[in-house]
Chain A
Amino acid sequence: MRAFGGSGSSEVAIEIIGLTKTYKDKKNGDKVAVAGIDLTVYRNEIFAILGPNGAGKTTTVEILEGYRDRDSGQVSVLGVDPSQLSAQDRSWRNRIGIVLQSTEDAADLTVAETVNHFSHYYSNPKNPGEVIDEVGLTEKANSRIRTLSGGQRRRLDVALGIIGGPEILFLDEPTTGFDPEARRSFWELIRKLQSEGTTIVLTTHYLDEAEALADRVAVINEGKIVEISTPENLGGRNEAKARVTFLRNGLREEILTDNPTKTISELSVDFNGDIPELIVSRPTLEDIYLSMIKSQENK
């Protein structure tokens, strides 16, 4: 098990080089899920993986989690190659936490019983009561799991993912089905985990989630990395022209500009004061993302 080189002063948590994975299917033809991915995740960062359904996100993450074998490439997670682990090797699993997509298990146990039970699998677990508190389930601690709402169920999944005090936490589409308030408080929880030193890798469909949480984002499509960047710089978003729109003689006009302040002050002179129904906007992460995915499909 070798370690890869780091970059700058940041320590490397995950390194992937030339990863490929094809699902064999004799009936429908083989399906290429991952077609050569390279990426590095540094310690203590929140790294988001974005991409449409079937892009290879879950396959990539499941290879990192040790659930799947790869066809080729090098993978290192906390300095360990997950494919080289035997079922008996528990020390590496002790250091990672996994929150799966959807689970309905242990419906007849209470929240407290379940979190407490899972704490016994780890060598150095967190305090179960504190973890339940951290995910905001204290009031539900003695309720049966089958009585929880979808959002509460997901919080329990997170509690089980962090009870072992992981160095890396994997979250697969963690807030699907959450109401906006629940998502906000969930994001707070993830930021808190980061502030405690946890490295977080999440896949998500929600662009606003990636924007709110991630230090860096990888966009994956058709098994390949389209771009890795910060949410602010993705797809040249920081350099994209601003769009200034307003009403003139009852018609909406639009100006694309690199310098909206200058444009507006000029307009203000033109209008001799107020610019009617002025809107200044920049492309959202969603606009950028959709144009990236689309330009790929057109290739």
Chain B
Amino acid sequence: MTTNLTHASYAKNPSVLRVGLLRGGIEIKQFLRQRESVVFTLLFPVMLLFIFGSVFKDTIAPGVTFSRYFVAGMIASGLVNTGFQQLAITIPMERDFGTLKRLRGIPMSPVSYFIGKVILVTTSMLVQVAMLMAFGTAFFGLKLPTTADLWLRFTWLVIVGSICSTILGIAFSSIPKSGRGASAVVSPIVIVLQFFSGVFFVFSSLPKWMQDFAAIFPLKWLTQGMRSVFLPDSFSIREVARSWELGKTFLVLVIWIIVGTLWALRSFKWSDK
């Protein structure tokens, strides 16, 4: 006797977008319940802001204190922390814990998983940037943009910067060998880039080799872009290129988005075997 096994007719699975939104909700819920993630991702940058901002109050240009320069850099760093750093650390942990393997075994599109991650990154990024802007304005002389043009520039920097940061975080998640070791691999990279990219020091005062090295990576361009939003326009002549280089910034970020996408598609692993 020949059996005839064909697809049973099923009502459709919930849509990819709907499942993605549900994943976003559950990601945020888990994020808020983990003390480490709340402290490191959200509070740590604010603590750094208070420490550096309180110690270095020198004036680096007429009307511009270092703390104001520093806040602009920290806002750019916020995009890297919540996207690249967060994903490059948590995805290897999810791989180690079997979360990813379980998700591959259920009727979920991988797209829904990434929608969930984008929702998590966007939410934590908006909270962090808003906190840095609020504390920076209240305590460290940060001046919020006053023109629509500057707000528009700020918006595209945040959007393109966080897309770049998110995609590179997903791509880099294949590098750490284990979930426990991920933080030890990822955090030093972010900290070194912060030192080299004009967050903790004035970029134009760094050695040329350091500047050249930093110019390969997105963070240098993001900090410079944020300075163009939060510092007086006249400060641009103090930049290395004597200009804000916004066109070049956009180009570098887009190149990294393309590189990161190709890299992520090739390397993303759902299990460690």
> Is the C-beta of B101 less than 8 angstroms from some C-beta in chain A?
yes
Minimum C-beta distance from B8 to chain A (A): 7
Contact assessment for B99 and A103 in the assembled complex, using a CB-CB cutoff below 8 Å: yes
Residues facing B in A77-100 (CB within 8 A) are 78-80, 87-88, 90-95, 98, 100
> Is the C-beta of A108 less than 8 angstroms from some C-beta in chain B?
yes
Residue in A93, A104, A118, A121 whose Cβ sees the most chain B Cβ within 10 Å: A121
Interface segment among B77-85, B105-113, B194-202: the answer is B105-113
- Chosen A-B contacts, 25 in total, with CB atoms closer than 8 Å, are A3-B3, A3-B4, A3-B6, A6-B3, A8-B1, A12-B5, A78-B5, A79-B5, A87-B109, A87-B110, A90-B108, A91-B7, A91-B107, A95-B8, A95-B10, A98-B102, A98-B105, A100-B101, A105-B94, A118-B106, A120-B14, A121-B14, A121-B107, A123-B11, A124-B10
Known: A79-B6, A109-B30, A123-B14. 8 other contacts (CB 8 A): A3-B6, A76-B5, A80-B7, A88-B109, A103-B98, A108-B29, A120-B14, A123-B107
- B residues within 8 A CB of A103? 97-99, 101-102
Determine the residue in chain A with the shortest Cβ distance to B32.
Answer: A108
> Is the C-beta of B22 less than 8 angstroms from some C-beta in chain A?
yes
Count of CB-CB pairs between chains A and B under 8 Å: 112
Interface residues, chain B, with chain A CB atoms under 8 Å away: 1-8, 10-14, 18-19, 22, 26, 29-30, 33-34, 94, 97-99, 101-102, 104-111, 271
Decide: A90 near B110, CB < 8 A? Known: A9-B1, A95-B8: no
> Is the C-beta of A134 less than 8 angstroms from some C-beta in chain B?
no
Decide: A105 near B97, CB < 8 A? Known: A164-B106, A164-B107: yes
| Bound CA–CA A246/B176 (angstroms) | 63
Minimum C-beta distance from A89 to chain B (A): 9
> Is the C-beta of A271 less than 8 angstroms from some C-beta in chain B?
no
Residues facing B in A133-180 (CB within 8 A) are 144, 160, 164, 167
Taken residue by residue from 94 to 132, chain A's Cβ proximity to chain B (1 for < 8 Å, 0 otherwise) reads as: 110010101111101100010001101111100000000
Residues facing B in A178-230 (CB within 8 A) are none
Contact assessment for A121 and B19 in the assembled complex, using a CB-CB cutoff below 8 Å: yes
| Bound CA–CA A6/B10 (angstroms) | 24
Contact assessment for B13 and A122 in the assembled complex, using a CB-CB cutoff below 8 Å: yes
Minimum C-beta distance from B168 to chain A (A): 22
- Picked from A9, A65, A76, A80, the residue with its CB within 8 Å of the CB of B105 is A65
Minimum C-beta distance from B228 to chain A (A): 40
Contact assessment for B2 and A5 in the assembled complex, using a CB-CB cutoff below 8 Å: yes
> Is the C-beta of A11 less than 8 angstroms from some C-beta in chain B?
yes
Minimum C-beta distance from B12 to chain A (A): 6
- A residues within 8 A CB of B26? 109, 113, 117
Contact assessment for A94 and B10 in the assembled complex, using a CB-CB cutoff below 8 Å: yes
| Bound CA–CA A65/B106 (angstroms) | 10
